[in-house]
Structure formats: structure tokens, C-alpha cells
Amino acid sequence: MSQSIQLSELPRSSHSTRSLAATPNEVTHHHSLDDMPEGGDGWVQVASCSMIMFFSVGGFYSWGVIQAQLAAESIASNSTLAFIGSLGVSFIAFGAILMGRLIRWIGARNAGFLSCLLMGGGQILSSASSKNAGGLFVTNGIIVGLGTSMSFMLCSTLPSQYFKRKRGLANGAVFSAAGIGGAVLSVVQNALISRLGVAWTFRIIGASGKISWTVDLSKNPGKGINPESFQSNLEVLS
């Protein structure tokens, strides 16, 4: 006696169905990569961010030149003066969460101008505190440090929004400008100190950097990029 066997379709696993469906975040990420301009105005932003890194991070790299002169004038001990320079650099890490949220709140362009104001203004104010270590803690350590932290967060995320294949080249150009700035500013500051003194060195570096930053940031950073991608990069860094 033959028996008939009926085959029934097994229910689909919700896990396998979920794995085949793209999540909204994945779709957004896919579109953001496809919409990247791959250069164009991106190279203008790379040049702008490179100039900012040249003066901001490069300025702290060359702090040893000013420190040596201040120590020679017996303004403070070498350890105290070294702490002033390291305090400003430490704000790059300490202020990351705060600056990331602030940039998302006020926008890239406004954050750029604010960072320029803090860095350039802090350098100029340092000229009035060139004979006072306590004043340098506030002006060059805290004020310039906050501006450097904001500019570092901005320059670390902005250029990559314009590139897909050349993203490494764009970011490398921006970060290499910091090292070049440290080398060039060391020579420039040494020459200025020998001719004009520490106070005028602060004024000249602060004023020239502020003018350069303002001109660069007038190029409207952030125009033409995917805002969701820019926000997500800031969230990762902060």
C-alpha cells in the first residue's frame, strides 16, 4: 500500500530575512558615498584646512622656541613653561567631545571662524602676558588650546567629505601641514624673537594666522557635502 507524502513550505526565518534587507543607515551611507564630489571644491577645503593646521597645531610644535627665550628671561622655570605648551595641546583630546557637539550645533563655517578668533586672539593676548607665566596659562594655554581643539576637530572631518578614492591623500595633506608648520614657524619665530622680542612675535604670528584663517574659511566650508555623513564623522571622533 503506497503512502503519499505532502511537502509543506517551511516558514522563512526572520533572522535570514532581516540580514538580506538593508537598514536605513546602510542605505544612507551608500548614497552618501555615491554623492561625494570626489575633488572639485574639496581641494580648496584641503588647502584651507592645511593652512589652519599649519598655524594652529604647528604653533604648538614650535612652542619650544618661545619657551627657550622666556626661560632665558627668567619668566618661569622650564618645567612651568613646558606645561603651558602641553596644556594647549592637551585640549585637542580633552575638548573633543565638547567641540564635536559644538560644531554640530553651530555649523562648520561658524565653528571655523570661532576657532580663528580664539587662536588668533589668544596669541595676541599672549603678547600682553609675555612677562607673566600665569597670564600665559590663560591666553596661550587655555584660549589658544580651545581654538586649536575646535579647528582640529573641524579639519579632521571636513576634507574627507569631498573624497572617496583620494580620501587618504586629502587627510594626509592636511595633517602633514601641521608638521610643516612646526618646522617653518620655529625658524620664523626664532628670527622674530632675535629682532623684535617675544611680545611682538606673539602679535605677528597671531595676526598673520588670523588673517590667513579668515580668508580660508570665507570659502564656505561644508558647501556641497552630505550633511549626514559629516555629522556621523563628528560623532565617531567625539
Nearest to 148 by CA among 209, 198, 73: 209
Question: Digits of tens for pLDDT over the chain (238 positions)?
Answer: 555 556 555 555 444 444 444 444 444 444 455 556 666 678 888 888 888 889 888 888 999 999 999 999 999 999 999 999 889 888 888 888 888 888 888 888 888 888 888 988 999 999 998 899 999 999 999 999 999 999 898 888 888 888 888 888 889 999 999 999 999 999 999 999 999 999 999 999 988 877 766 655 555 444 444 444 444 444 444 4
pLDDT, position 81: 92
Q: How many helices (H) and strands (E) does the chain have?
A: 12, 0
pLDDT in tens, 164-194: 888 888 899 999 999 999 999 999 999 999 9
Opening angle at CA 102, ends 181 and 235, nearest 5: 85
Nearest to 128 by CA among 119, 120, 136: 136
Q: Whole-model pTM?
A: 0.72
Length of the chain: 238
pLDDT, position 111: 85
pLDDT, position 21: 45
Opening angle at CA 208, ends 202 and 209, nearest 5: 85
In a 10 Å sphere around its CB, with 0-12 CB exposed, 13-18 middle and 19+ buried, how is residue 36 labelled?
buried
User: Which CATH code for domain 41-237?
Assistant: 1.20.1250.20
- Give domain limits for the chain: 41-237
Distance CA 45, CA 56 (A): 16
